[in-house]
Structure 1
Amino acid sequence: MESDQQSVEYRARVWSGARRRLWHTSTDGTVGERLRELADWAAGTPYGDGRVDTYGDAVVEELERRVAEELGFPAAVFFPTGTMAQQVALRCWAGRTGNAVVALHPLAHPELHENGAFETVAGLRTVHLTDEPRLPTAEEVRDHPEPFGALMVELPLRDAGFVLPDWDELVAVVEAAREREAVVHFDGARLWDCPAHFGRGLPEIAGLADSVYVSFYKSLGGLSGAALAGPDELVEEARLWRHRYGGQLFQQYPAALSALRGLETELPRLPSYAAHARVVAAALRDAFTEAAVPWFRVHPEVPHTHQFRVWLPYDPDALTAAALSLTEDTGTTLFRRWFAAPAGGPPGMAVTEVTVTAPGLEWTAEDVQEAVRDFLTRVR
């Protein structure tokens, strides 16, 4: 009998080998392929002839400089993980404000995916401003009954469907936090995706906050790693805490190189991905309507970034099997894994995430609709 791990590895091989797909992930391909791609790219840049880093110098320092420049902050520091970066950022701010309470959304990454690290490791306590699947409003920030030292805003809010407020709403939220004398920290794991929605550049968006965390493997396709950007004094203290947390790695040049590649090759393309995600989302809605699917949802209806969610009224394992069958038989990947609705979600529903990157730009609306029809015939 095939083990769960064997199933995972088999699906990964099939989907990464698809001839047509809407997106490629940083986990697609083999070790050799990924290393050769990175080496080939580096060979055509000044980084290829540079020396490897030791404890965060050389190419890692160049990455930090580039991130600070992209976001319009005085300084930035590289971290091996975003989990570590954000714990460090918020505990540094807690020391400055004298208040270890962090206001954030219950769907924020630290609440859902980090096993209580804010409380158990960083000594922070969290409060929630709203339970609605959206970012909090200025009124909710202003009217919360308990003092908090920092407001953490995830842009976009991934587990609500990669959603963003509009620009005026975001500005009002930040101003409301300032009225309460709270610092503002952006969980910007996917901040790179935001300019197309807001119609503003990265420095203007990031400049609303006191500090910003960004990821290098989300949106930019890097191997791993993150950065914390902010004032010089915060970044210098963060370097101390990075060492205390065990994040002062001996060498990180492959991760740093892949991050620089993402900044140079993927970052300029993200607006085109977001624009085409709207085409794909509309085509999915049209195809599900035409097929008379009893209930479905593409959320947001008009995607805010190049990623969005799809909900269908079928068993998630059946949908995953149909997605796999489509790729096995046709070489086309429309969807990948499906999951049961999270607690509190509609019963009997399954959800998946759809991303549009470079391969997806070749898909027309008709291509999407044809793939949906073929996919639905395989759902059992």
Structure 2
Amino acid sequence: MADDQDAAARRRVAAWAGAERKLADGPVSGTLAQRLARLADEAPESYDLGEWTDMYGDGVVAELERRTAGLLGTEAAAFFPTGTMAQQVALRCWAERTGSRTVAMHPLAHPEQWERDALTQLTGLRVVHTTGEARNPTEDEVREVAEPFGTLALELPLREAGFVLPDWDELTATVEAARERDAVVHFDGARLWECTAFYGRGLPEIAALADSVYVSFYKSLGGLSGAALAGSAALVEEATAWRHRYGGQLFQQWPAALSALVGLDRELPRLPQYVAHAKVVAVALREAFGGGAAPWSRIRPEEPHTHQFLVWLPYDAEVLTEASVRAAEETGTGLFRTWSDAGPPGVAVTEVTVGAPGLSWTAEDVAEAVREFMARVR
């Protein structure tokens, strides 16, 4: 069974990587040789490759931390090998500082969905939920949480709900409601980079609402891996001590740091274009499905808040994933990737990301890709 699953996964990766046309590059977008060659080609524009490799966080890693803090407008930032570690450390630090081991967050937030109860198992923290609605909490919901909490964690955008964001007034009011309850605010900003277009504000103004911010270097920027925790110099100094205790003080991290710097230089300025074109793609998908391609469909949100959104169709996930792979293999066009059974029986969902390769897609290109995809579903 494991061998069959591995073979299926390799087939999917090969189909998507080999597609001549796609909406975005995938997280696994080439062989080792191709990725090394790409990094060697792109990195000299972002960092002097004549410098020595890093050792325990100096050199290129320290430069990445400096650049990140500057972009977010914070006093300091610390590089972490994973966002999971960065957020656990942040919330642990805040628990010590506030005297409360209770964190308020959405039940769809990443620590609740994807981290195997790490907050409770490793840090002894406990979670209270802010709302059960598929959106970030409102100011009233924060005020009405039934028990005290020391930290409010907000995921911006909220991925599992469709990469959705509250509007600026809602966000500022929610933050203020947390302050009224003597709580600090932490932003799970793994994808915060692409929120500037929605808010019409720069990263420093957005980050300034929170006491700490976590950002990812691979989810939007195309880096190999890694994350950063940004905030005051005192908080970051404390966080680096916990990073060491958690095993995150790695001997060398130059490939990840280099690729992150490349992402900051190359991808970050392009994200507003991706967000704008995601709206075009979403409209084209809705019209293609609504025009008879599918018996029922839903796109959430109807107008994407970022360059990512969700698509729902009334078929089993296995059927839709196979159709996605076959379409990529047989037509050279990769429209969708993996589907999951995350809703009612018989309904599957997938995430759509619009990146640099998708900027050339017209509405008719989307419609044609939908026709080819649905022909293989049936």
TM-score normalised to the size of structure 1? 0.98
Q: Please tell me the residue identity of whatever aligns with 1:358.
A: A
1:375 aligns with 373
The DSSP-based 3-state class of the residue aligned with 1:308 is: strand
1:337 aligns with 338
Q: Please tell me the residue identity of whatever aligns with 1:269.
A: R
After superposition, the Cα gap between the structure-2 partners of 1:164 and 1:87, relative to the gap in structure 1 and judged at 3 Å, is: same
1:29-54 Cα deviation digits (max 9, x unpaired) = 10110011001112344421211100
- Cα shift at 1:292: 5.3
1:316 aligns with 317
1:73 aligns with 74
Aligned pairs for 1:63-212 within 5 A:
63-212=64-213
Give 1:359's match in structure 2, choosing from 357, 360, 363. 357
Deviates more, 1:18-27 or 1:275-284: 18-27
Q: Please tell me the residue identity of whatever aligns with 1:220.
A: L
The DSSP-based 3-state class of the residue aligned with 2:48 is: helix
Question: How far apart, in 2, do the equivalents of 1:316 and 1:55 lie?
Answer: 43
1:283 aligns with 284
1:105, 1:135 within 8 Å by CA — same for their partners in 2?
Answer: yes
Question: How far apart, in 2, do the equivalents of 1:81 and 1:323 lie?
Answer: 30
2:220 aligns with 219
- Cα shift at 1:273: 0.1
1:254-281 Cα deviation digits (max 9, x unpaired) = 0000000000000000000000000000
1:47, 1:59 within 8 Å by CA — same for their partners in 2?
Answer: no
Deviates more, 1:290-299 or 1:301-310: 290-299
Q: Give unmatched runs, 5+ long, in structure 1.
A: none
After superposition, the Cα gap between the structure-2 partners of 1:45 and 1:129, relative to the gap in structure 1 and judged at 3 Å, is: closer
2:35 aligns with 34
**1:229 and 2:234 correspond:** no
Q: Please tell me the residue identity of whatever aligns with 1:3.
A: D
Q: Give unmatched runs, 5+ long, in structure 2.
A: none
RMSD of the TM alignment (CA)?
Answer: 1.0
The DSSP-based 3-state class of the residue aligned with 1:186 is: strand
Question: How far apart, in 2, do the equivalents of 1:339 and 1:355 lie?
Answer: 16
Matched-pair identity in % = 67
Q: Please tell me the residue identity of whatever aligns with 1:364.
A: T
Question: How far apart, in 2, do the equivalents of 1:294 and 1:57 lie?
Answer: 56
Count of aligned positions? 377
Question: How far apart, in 2, do the equivalents of 1:45 and 1:157 lie?
Answer: 30
The DSSP-based 3-state class of the residue aligned with 2:34 is: helix
1:100, 1:123 within 8 Å by CA — same for their partners in 2?
Answer: yes
2:47, 2:258 within 8 Å by CA — same for their partners in 1?
Answer: no
1:26, 1:222 within 8 Å by CA — same for their partners in 2?
Answer: no
- Cα shift at 1:315: 1.4
Aligned pairs for 1:4-23 within 5 A:
4-23=5-24
1:270 aligns with 271
2:316, 2:347 within 8 Å by CA — same for their partners in 1?
Answer: yes
1:25 aligns with 26
Question: How far apart, in 2, do the equivalents of 1:25 and 1:377 lie?
Answer: 24
The DSSP-based 3-state class of the residue aligned with 1:276 is: helix
2:56 aligns with 55
1:100-147 Cα deviation digits (max 9, x unpaired) = 100000000000100000001011100001111100000000111200
Question: How far apart, in 2, do the equivalents of 1:353 and 1:186 lie?
Answer: 22
Q: Please tell me the residue identity of whatever aligns with 1:282.
A: V
Q: Please tell me the residue identity of whatever aligns with 2:182.
A: E
1:305 aligns with 306
